[in-house]
Structure formats: C-alpha cells, structure tokens
Amino acid sequence: MNTYLMLIRREFWEHRSLWIAPLVWVGIIVIMSTWGTFQLERDNDFGEFANAQNIEQLQDLSDAKREEIERAMSYDNDRKQTIYAFSYLVIGALITGFMCIVVFFYLIDCLFTERRDRSILFWKSMPVSDAQVVLSKFLTAMVVVPLGVILLSGATQLLLLGIWNLRFAGSVVGMMTPDWDMMSWVRSMVIESGMMLGGLMWYAPIAAYFLLLSVTVKRMVFLWAVLPLIAAPLLEFIFLRSRHVTEFLGQRFVGYVELLHIDHANMRMSHVNADMPRVQDLYDSFQMSGIFTSLETWIGMAAAAALLFAAIRIRRFRDDS
C-alpha cells in the first residue's frame, strides 16, 4: 500500500496539470458565475426581481407573469430543491467534462514521457515492479482524480450556493429559490458518485488502451491516439461501404448515457402549464443500475484488464525513447 501511495504521489509531482488544471477551471467557473450573478442586475426585467423584496413592488408585470411568479413562490421546498439539484448536476458535469480532457492527455503521456526522458531507467533500478507502476498510473487516472473531482465539485457547489444566497436573500428571487437543505446536497453527491463509478467502469477499456499506446508508441503519441479513431471508420466506409466501426466506437463513447435511461420529462426545470418536478423525480430520472448490470460493461472491464496486462509486459522490455 505504501508503495502505491508513493507512486501516486509521484504522478502528481510529475504531472502537475492533474491538480493545477482543475483548480484553475473551478476558479474560472466561480468567477464567471459570480460575475453573471451580479451582472443580472443590469437586465431591466431581472433587476426588478433582484431588488424587489415582495411581489407588490413589481408594478409593471403582466397578469400572466405575476401568476407564474406567484406559483413559483408557492412551491413547497421539495419542488424548489429541484433547482439546486439540477445546478449541482450541471456543475459536476462541467468539472467532470474538463477533467476527462486532462486525464486523456495524462494517459497518453505518462508512460511515453518516462521513456523519452529516460527516467524509466531510474525507476527500473528501484524495487518497484512494472505492474505497480502501470497500475498506479491507471489508479491515478481512474480512482484518485475522479475522487478529487467529486470533492472539488461538492465544494464548488457550496461556494456558488453561498454566493447566490448572499446576493438574493430577502428578495423575490430568494423567495423563488429553496431553503438550504443538507440532505439534498448529500443526495446530489451520491447520485454524482454513482454516475462517476458507472462511467469509470464503462470507459476503463478506453483508458487502458491509451496507456497501452503510451508505453508502445515511440513518437507523436497524440496522433496515434486520435487518428485511428478517425481513420478507421472513414476507411471502412470508403472501401466497404459499412459503418460497423463507427457504430462500435459510437456505442463505446456514448453508450454509457444510453444505459442511464434518462427520463427527459423529469429534466424540465419549469414550463408554463405544469408544475416543477419534485427533486426525487429528478433523481429518479437516472437509472444507474443499467450500467452495472450490462454485459457490455463487464466485457469492457475484461478488455481493460487485458490491455493493462499487455502494457505491463511491454514496459518490462521497453526502456528506449
């Protein structure tokens, strides 16, 4: 265990983008969200809501608009919590999507760089096996970084929530938004963690494939990682007039979303002639059991294990650049 902890710490020493990039990205999200929150005051319509302490102060509202606002203010806290739950999921998706890009570059570079700068010779002189090195890199990308994403996402959600509440407390906008509910935040974090775990299992073979490329390719590893994914479907269509490779790649990259069986009807935040969905309805929109019971998921896990085994064996005999 201590060996793996040391190797994982090494990854964050050598690849500082793993922790610097998400902090910068979250900083951008917080700054832009804060700016947008206060910028809303310049909008004439919204500015009235932001500064009005009750609906009677809004003199220029049409009857239909006033009725819609009164209905939003009259929702019970359970329905209002849907607003926060949806925002939690959006913030988590923004951070997760960005970190997928960071992890992609990490995976194709981590084993390639140690051969290029010959640091592999130093690590081979240490009492550390090739399996431990490769697995530590895989664990960094697929366990440690996602765990950090969840924690960072939760902290960002709380920070933005605090900024919003400070700005609109006591206004009509504040009356339309829910009271703080710790359990709603916890449930959103549980949902996000479950979706993250399912995504990691689904995309494990892709991550292992990039590691295999990183330990095999001698140069231009980025092109080797990207071009086959573009060229193979194109060549198949040109010469065979079929789309089997395209369908396979499409299923592997977006099939995870399909297995969630998202009920889009419950994802609608508000509409004129219907009530806002309850927060539990929003959470029930995601059927995560489909990921863990899918045969494709477990076949992918087996493929990931095979690719990692190949990467370990190749690294054992590769120390050139």
List the helix and strand counts (H, then E) for the chain.
15, 0
Spatial contact of 152 and 82, defined as CB atoms under 8 Å apart: no
> Is the pLDDT confidence value at 211 over 90?
yes
Q: What confidence tens digit (pLDDT) does each residue in 224-269 have?
A: 999 988 999 999 988 888 888 888 888 888 888 777 777 666 555 5
> Is the pLDDT confidence value at 277 over 50?
yes
> Is the pLDDT confidence value at 45 over 60?
no
Q: Break the chain into its structural domains and give their ranges.
A: 2-316
Of 37, 293, 313, which is closest to residue 174 (Cα–Cα)? 37
Of 94, 102, 78, which is closest to residue 156 (Cα–Cα)? 94
Is pLDDT larger for residue 38 or for residue 303? 303
CB atoms within 10 A of CB 58: 16
- pLDDT for the residue 303: 95
> Is the pLDDT confidence value at 13 over 60?
yes
- pLDDT for the residue 185: 79
**HSE of 18, CA atoms in CB hemisphere, 13 A:** 25
Across 212-216, average pLDDT: 92
Dihedral sign of CA atoms 193, 195, 197, 199 in order: negative
Q: What confidence tens digit (pLDDT) does each residue in 55-101 have?
A: 655 666 556 666 666 666 666 666 667 777 778 888 888 999 999 99
- pLDDT for the residue 74: 62
- pLDDT for the residue 63: 60
Within 178-278, where are the H helices? Answer: 182-216, 221-240, 244-259
Confidence of residue 272 (pLDDT cuts 50, 70, 90): very low
Tokens of 19: 């922790």
- The least confident of 86-90, 118-122, 217-221 is 118-122
Q: What is the mean pLDDT of the chain?
A: 81
Q: What confidence tens digit (pLDDT) does each residue in 168-187 have?
A: 766 666 666 766 677 777 88
Tokens of 33: 């969200």
**Whole-angstrom distance, CA of residue 119 vs CA of residue 254:** 37
Of 141, 146, 194, which is closest to residue 308 (Cα–Cα)? 141
Confidence of residue 49 (pLDDT cuts 50, 70, 90): low
Is pLDDT larger for residue 316 or for residue 201? 201
Return the percentage of the chain with pLDDT > 70, whole number: 74
Choose the most confident range, by mean pLDDT, from 36-40, 57-61, 156-160, 205-209.
205-209
Tokens of 62: 């049409």
- pLDDT for the residue 265: 61
- pLDDT for the residue 52: 61
**Whole-angstrom distance, CA of residue 252 vs CA of residue 194:** 19
Across 202-215, average pLDDT: 94
- pLDDT for the residue 306: 97
> Is the pLDDT confidence value at 202 over 50?
yes
Residues 6+ apart with CB under 8 A from 255: 202, 296
Residue 67: strand, helix, or coil: helix
Of 92, 104, 93, which is closest to residue 15 (Cα–Cα)? 104
